[in-house]
Amino acid sequence: MKKKIFSGVQPTGNLHLGNYLGAIKNFVKLNDDPENHCVFCVVDLHAITVNQDPKELRENIRETVATFVASGIDPKKSIIFNQSKVSAHSEVAWILSCTARMGWLNRMTQFKEKAGKDKEKASIGLYSYPILMAADILLYDTTHVPVGDDQKQHLELCRDIAQKFNNDFKVDNFFKLPEPLIQKEFSRIMSLKDGSKKMSKSELSNLSRINLTDSEDQIINKIKKAKTDTLPIPSNIDELNGRLEAKNLLIIYSSLSGLTLEKTINKFAEKNFSEFKKNLSQILVDKINPISQEIKKLLNEKSYLDKILLEGSKNANQIASKKIEKIHEIVGF
């Protein structure tokens, strides 16, 4: 049986190294394995849970597709489409919102973080976001979902919703319970300015993240300015405890080089950070620069990007419409 892979990325601009190492790099590996059937979605419905400028959103949708392709996802092997073009996502999200329980959603930490102190002013969409995410995944009988560690809780909720729907309607195994695919050591890349916060698109400081469109000079400058501490690189992992920023930079190096964190530490043990940072900048430039050049090139080929989305949405619609027909039957519509 082929593994069915589904994952999404929000077209909210500033796609960064965290998105790449936590998710997209894994998408590429999965796309390359003929044993997998992959669906990669530009989740524009999720993006509008916070304010978006319509013109920018349209460009960001294209930029996300360009990033997928520039990173190595082949649109001939994988379905790439944007969520809003397959209306089953919104419809199933509504049906599942009648299955999901308030108490379950109230536990979601991402809503608490994103809504901040003033949650009364957050959109309903931001609150019910994980239900839409469950609909995305369940529509495609997904078996595996490659995501960063921050999405683990949403995936657990998706399994709970699927299980309850199957039980309530006595349709054993109708919605498949998906497994998360989270990379162990590199599951959460942190801000370059604060090792306790995840690297994020919406963080105001551009110095907090490496954008996938950054130039060589920007990468070198950001790594130069990345926060560290006064101690040299230790000789074992345990000594990294409590040194959040130092650990984050070593994790980034490990992930890009393919070395384990332990091997990276051995390679740079007792060296000072200025020397390590030169190596880190170099590997970042080597890995990210070809992607950023390709993104820029693809952004000039708008009709090609739109064609990928159009083809993708046709293929996604074919799968989703069959599933929704069965859902209508089960629910009694």
The backbone torsions φ and ψ at residue 36, rounded to the nearest 5 degrees and listed phi first, read -105, 145
The helix/strand/coil state of 157 is helix
Catalytic residue among 193, 201, 227, 267: 201
Q: What is the nearest approach in angstroms of ligand AQP to the Cβ of residue 167?
A: 28
Q: How far apart are CA 306 and CA 81, in angstroms?
A: 9
Catalytic residue among 25, 85, 198, 277: 198
Of these, 4, 5, 6, 19, which contacts ligand AQP (CB under 6 A)? 19
Q: Which residues pair with 5 in a beta bridge?
A: 38, 144
208 binds ligand AQP, rule: CB under 6 A: no
198 binds ligand AQP, rule: CB under 6 A: yes
Mark whether 198 is an active-site residue: yes
Q: How far apart are CA 293 and CA 298, in angstroms?
A: 9
Q: What is the nearest approach in angstroms of ligand AQP to the Cβ of residue 21?
A: 6
For ligand AQP, the closer CB: 201 or 323: 201
Of these, 199, 233, 251, 316, which contacts ligand AQP (CB under 6 A)? 199
For ligand AQP, the closer CB: 291 or 327: 291
Q: How far apart are CA 204 and CA 185, in angstroms?
A: 27
Query: Do the Cβ atoms of 251 and 261 come closer than 8 Å?
Result: yes
For ligand AQP, the closer CB: 148 or 312: 148
Long-range contacts of range 26-32, CB-CB < 8 Å, 24 or more positions apart?
A: 26/146, 26/181, 26/183, 27/68, 27/71, 27/73, 27/78, 27/146, 28/71, 28/72, 28/73, 30/3, 30/5, 30/144, 30/146, 30/181, 31/72, 31/73, 31/74, 31/77, 31/78, 32/72, 32/77
The helix/strand/coil state of 239 is helix
Binding mask 118-147 for ligand AQP (x = CB under 6 A): -----------------------------x
Query: Do the Cβ atoms of 250 and 283 come closer than 8 Å?
Result: no
For ligand AQP, the closer CB: 150 or 311: 150
Mark whether 197 is an active-site residue: no
66 binds ligand AQP, rule: CB under 6 A: no
Of these, 200, 248, 254, 292, which contacts ligand AQP (CB under 6 A)? 200
- DSSP code of 22? I
Mark whether 114 is an active-site residue: yes
Q: Where does this chain touch ligand AQP (CB under 6 A) — which range of 33-41, 99-107, 154-162, 199-207?
A: 199-207
Catalytic residues: 114, 198, 201
Contact positions vs ligand AQP (CB under 6 A): 8-10, 12, 18-19, 22-23, 147-148, 150-151, 188-189, 198-202
